[in-house]
Structure 1
Amino acid sequence: MPASAPIQQNRPLGIALRLGAVLCFACMAAGIKLGYAAGASTIELVFYRFAFGLPPLLAWILWSGNLNAWRTARPGAHLLRGVLGLTTMILAFSALAYLPLAEATTIGFAAPLFAVMLSALILKEPVGRYRWSAVAAGFVGVLIVMQPAGSSLPPAGLALAVASAFGVAAVTITIRQIGRTEGTQTTVLWFTSFSMIVVGALMPFAAQMHDARGWAILLAVGLSGGIAQILLTAALRFAPVSTVAPFDYTQLIWAVLLGWALFDIHPAATTWAGAAAIVASGLYTLYREQRLGVLERRRASEAAQPEG
């Protein structure tokens, strides 16, 4: 399929692809926890996430016929995105060394709330009282999960998870800016290449020998992460963000199931309560952004009409 092929709306397919991406991300997170249990270091997990995720990425680029995906006029922007993205990934992986899957996933859902804050501060986008109220409610949900007055969860893991969610928001804002001139494949390829070079330079100090099970886990982390990235992008080819984004919250279901099946861990009642608040605020924020987008397009269309 050529890179210039017209986009055809197919919402059921877009939703299915997004659900597949969410499942792959959940499997990657479970693989990361298994990798830590098998003795892998954070540097190894991050490196093999990119190393084993690179073949699916290159296959996707070759299949689309976009052989100039590496070309860019904005290397500085990609460098900034690379630094933010790699730092965020290290924080997210590290959080999984301390926290159960469900709790780490739930706190990660705060990323869109941070994105609203950053869009107002950095992009100067207008944010009304309704969205600010949703952000406040979402952060109350985060506090419920974290239980600052007496949590049994490790403080280091909680701090890493919150920092990771903030990093995801910062990356989101950066990608929105880069996406005005750069294609998705270009952005992903530059990020992957940058991260492999940086983390690869640290591998002589972190690489270890692993048994067959350890290598299988590392392979699964890389492949699931790489495939998830492709499915995530492909979903947006067939359906708008407002249609597929709400299905991201199904990752909590997979996190609970995988946490129970692999680690025999059940989320606390506070995790469910906090998740409900965070998911509700995220969905409302998405609804408001979609509604405002429709109004803006309507005003632009009316302004473009010639006067009668």
Structure 2
Amino acid sequence: MSALSGILLKLGSVVLFVVMSALIKAASADVPPGEAVFFRSFLALPVIVVWLAARRQLTTGLKTTNPLGHLWRGLIGVSAMGCTFAGLGMLPLPEVTAIGFAAPILTVVFGALLLGERIRLFRMSAVSVGLVGVTIIVWPRLTLDNAQSGAALGAGLVLLSCVFRALAQIQIRRLVAHEDTAAIVFYFSLMSTLLSLLTVPFGWVVPSPNTAALLVSAGLIGGIAQILITSAYRHAEAGLLAPFDYAAMLFALVIGYVVFGDVPTTWMLAGASLVIASGVAIIWRERQLGLKRGRARSGMAPQG
């Protein structure tokens, strides 16, 4: 029953994160990405604080022995969110979701380069397949027409966000050695809120009531989703839950079509299939090798 609870919590977080992305996309025409990051981070803080207090973990969530580590994680994470939110304003929701699946693949590469983790032939092959899938998704965007419309820039920004997200995952792996997951979740939202304020000189606007409602909803939903994903890893191991991340593709396709009229292309679906297959293969191999990613994954939001 505990495993089932973990799966349901994980699926709930996946749905909410896709809904949050849809809300950010709907608001993207009216507010700059930095302002969207602020609302996403600031409104999540009270949700996280109430959750920690209810679990009597508020002291744990505020206690840290590595403030510089949290600052570095915040810098990387806020960069990832900013790039993703900017990309959402330029690309269909399902496409942003599909490209975003490159982050776990890049995490394997950075794990080898920065943490000295060994990549054997199986995972190296899976990484190669995933990168081919990302290329298939992005390639149609690299045309003159798409460059003029901003779609090429959007694809580049989402790819850059994947790099930042992978680096954030590496930083979380370092933090979990000495920091509680509650502290990682809390300080990420706090650092993201403060760092996003640095973008005020770059064109913040007073949102309309409708846009403000979208942003506030995105922040609250993002906070709840973060709690669900953190709770999920308390009930089930990472290897069991990780494949459910890819359910986001299904929800993104449905929401993208119903809300925004986004019709996926054959190229996008083909590339996404390869990226998802690669990710599942890597997860399966990590589970076979007994690698522990639960605490690190529980502190990792899809946007950073």
Matched, 1:208 2:200: no
In structure 2, distance between residues paired with 1:80 and 1:126: 25
In structure 2, distance between residues paired with 1:198 and 1:142: 30
1:233 matched to which residue of 2? 230
In structure 2, distance between residues paired with 1:210 and 1:116: 40
Q: 1:139 aligns with which of 98, 116, 131?
A: 131
Quick check: 2:16–2:221 contact (8 Å CA) kept in 1? yes
1:94 matched to which residue of 2? 86
Q: 1:56 aligns with which of 31, 47, 63?
A: 47
1:47 matched to which residue of 2? 38
Matches for 1:150-299 after TM superposition, within 5 Å: 151=143, 153=146, 154-203=151-200, 206-293=203-290
Q: 1:103 aligns with which of 95, 98, 104?
A: 95
2:19 matched to which residue of 1? 27
Shifted more, 130-139 versus 179-188: the winner is 179-188
Quote how far apart the aligned CAs of 1:210 are.
2.6
Quote how far apart the aligned CAs of 1:107 are.
0.5
The residue identity in structure 2 corresponding to 1:229 is: Q
**Runs (5+) with no aligned partner, structure 1:** 1-8, 295-308
The residue identity in structure 2 corresponding to 1:96 is: L
The residue identity in structure 1 corresponding to 2:135 is: L
Quote how far apart the aligned CAs of 1:36 are.
1.2
Quick check: 2:136–2:271 contact (8 Å CA) kept in 1? yes
Q: Tell me the C-alpha RMSD between the 2 structures.
A: 1.6
In structure 2, distance between residues paired with 1:283 and 1:205: 40
Quote how far apart the aligned CAs of 1:188 are.
1.5
Quick check: 2:75–2:195 contact (8 Å CA) kept in 1? no
**Runs (5+) with no aligned partner, structure 2:** 292-304
The residue identity in structure 2 corresponding to 1:25 is: F
Quote how far apart the aligned CAs of 1:95 are.
1.1
Secondary structure of 1:147's aligned partner: helix
Secondary structure of 1:208's aligned partner: coil
CA deviations over 1:59-95 (Å, ceiling 9, x no partner): 1110111132212111111111111111111111111
Quote how far apart the aligned CAs of 1:201 are.
4.4
CA deviations over 1:229-260 (Å, ceiling 9, x no partner): 11110000000111111011010111111111
CA deviations over 1:93-136 (Å, ceiling 9, x no partner): 11111111011100100111101101111111111011000000
Shifted more, 173-182 versus 140-149: the winner is 140-149
In structure 2, distance between residues paired with 1:158 and 1:197: 27
Quote how far apart the aligned CAs of 1:208 are.
2.4
TM-score by length of 2: 0.90
2:301 matched to which residue of 1? none
Secondary structure of 1:122's aligned partner: helix
In structure 1, distance between residues paired with 2:142 and 2:182: 45
In structure 2, distance between residues paired with 1:265 and 1:234: 32
Quote how far apart the aligned CAs of 1:209 are.
2.5
Secondary structure of 2:28's aligned partner: helix
TM-score by length of 1: 0.89
In structure 2, distance between residues paired with 1:202 and 1:289: 39
Quick check: 2:70–2:184 contact (8 Å CA) kept in 1? yes
Count matched residues: 285
CA deviations over 1:160-201 (Å, ceiling 9, x no partner): 111111111111111011011111111121121122122234
Query: Where do 4+ consecutive residues of structure 1 move more than 2 Å?
Result: 148-153, 200-212
Between the aligned residues of both structures, percent identity stands at 36
Secondary structure of 2:62's aligned partner: coil
Name the larger-Rg structure.
1
